Amino acid sequence: MKKFRNVVAIVCAMAMLLVAGCGNGTGSENTAAAESADTEAASADATAEATSRINEDGTITIVDQLGKTIELDGVPERVVTTIMPFPYIFYAVCGNNDNLVGCNPSSIVAYNDSALKYMYPELANANTDFVDTSFVVNVEEIIKLEPDVVFQWNYMEDEIAKMEEAGIKVIALEYGTIEDLETWINLIGTMMDKQDRAAELIEYFHESVAEVDEVLADVSPEDYVNVLLLSDDMTVTGTGFSSYWLEHSGAVNPAGDLSGEALNVNMEQVYEWNPSIIYIGNFTDLQPSDLLENKLEGEDWSVVDAVQSGQVYKIPIGGYRWDPPGVETPLMIKWLAKIQYPELFEDMDMYEEVSEFYENVYGFELTDEMLDEILGDTQN
């Protein structure tokens, strides 16, 4: 795995791309029209990245994923978030500090099971009284935190409105894609004056995923491994972000053809799919042993290929759960690829991969015991 590139080289490369992308040129009217159409079709993510900036007077302009402009007096000292995976992404960009003063109680549940508790012990002091697990905010409680800015999901419009009515500055974020994740990283980088660091993280992310892509380049999609994603007992994951890490790890999800992200199924459907590998999400208490030892009442998993071959795995939790988009998604992809194609990734040691990733991304050295917490109990 490659180390972070020199910051100057990254900034120069980004500047070259920016110049190339913004040049007017002297092409035909058709070319100009095409470029204009492309510009008009740019996503809200791209708009946010292009227009969020630190101004000459030290103020900071953020354009969020609702297209709304938020003006900050400077780098915020008190940041609050209702969004569950936000704290570990914030930490990856900013490093260990006390700026994050409030977060979702579900974030702390994950934190207590994660490696983040070793890297970012200050997060244990974050207030969680202002919001419930459904992202509904108690305005009186959040005012007590005196936040400089609050992060909320873009679809929680009523919650955003009531905070703004109370004079609180709110940045709306959208969930679901790698582009969204990059926007998060860039917005945090601009807001906290860590733009170079944000660029490093995004560069490193794509380099890491490309390593797996290169190994799997000769594997035909028709030969991808058939996997099933269990988000809970008799609930499978269909469409959604999982499509990204399955595609890049060379797997196909038969439930991906069904509409919806979480789908209720029965054993007859599971038998029809007969997956070679089963992954159990980290948002459920369900464990591989529940299937491997046929513990679930009224369900017979013993005849499923994945169970017969012992190929049932629990998705890990590192800095945060590996299921949703995050800075550790490249580790998720490598973990999957190692399981699905052991002969192609024979020389890849996941303990070494995770250890090196943490040193490069977080500047933190995991102990053997910490590595075991992340990887050691993913199959039992």
d(CA 304, CA 228): 11
Domain 7-16+43-207: homologous superfamily in CATH:
Nitrogenase molybdenum iron protein domain (3.40.50.1980)
Domain layout of the chain by residue ranges: 7-16+43-207, 219-376
Rounded average pLDDT over 47-69: 87
* Domain pair 7-16+43-207 / 219-376, same fold: yes
How far apart, in Å, are the Cα atoms of 247 and each of 9, 68, 213, 322, 345? 30, 33, 9, 15, 16
Chain-centroid distance of CA 307 in Å reads 29
H helix runs in 41-177, sequence order: 44-51, 86-94, 105-113, 116-119, 139-144, 157-165
Map residue 231 onto helix, strand or coil. strand
Q: How far apart are CA 135 and CA 152, in angstroms?
A: 8
* Homologous superfamily (CATH) for 219-376: Nitrogenase molybdenum iron protein domain (3.40.50.1980)
Q: Residue 34: pLDDT above 80?
A: no
Distances (CA, A) of 100 to 63, 80, 120, 128, 191: 20, 6, 11, 11, 13
User: How large is the average pLDDT for residues 317-339?
Assistant: 97
Would you state the structure tokens that stand for residue 166, as one six-digit string? 């109370």
380 vs 142, more confident: 142
Each residue's pLDDT tens digit, 106-120: 999 999 999 999 999
| Other beta carbons less than 10 A from residue 232's beta carbon | 15
4: helix, coil or strand?
coil
Cα separation, 195 vs 148, in Å, equals 19
Neighbours of 375 (CB within 10 A): 17
pLDDT at 63: 96
Taking only the tens place, the pLDDT of each residue in 149-207 is 999 999 999 999 999 999 999 999 999 999 999 999 999 999 999 999 999 999 999 99
Sheet containing strand 170-173, strands side by side: 100-102, 79-81, 149-153, 170-173
Interatomic CA distance for residues 108 and 105, integer angstroms: 5
Structure tokens at 23: 């040049």
What are 82-107's pLDDT values in tens digits? 999 999 999 999 987 789 999 999 99
**pLDDT value at 278 more than 50:** yes
Instruction: Name the band, by pLDDT with cuts 50, 70 and 90, for residue 17.
Output: very low
* 119: nearest Cα among 377, 362, 281: 362
pTM for this one?
A: 0.85
Beta bridge pairs of residue 236 = 230, 263
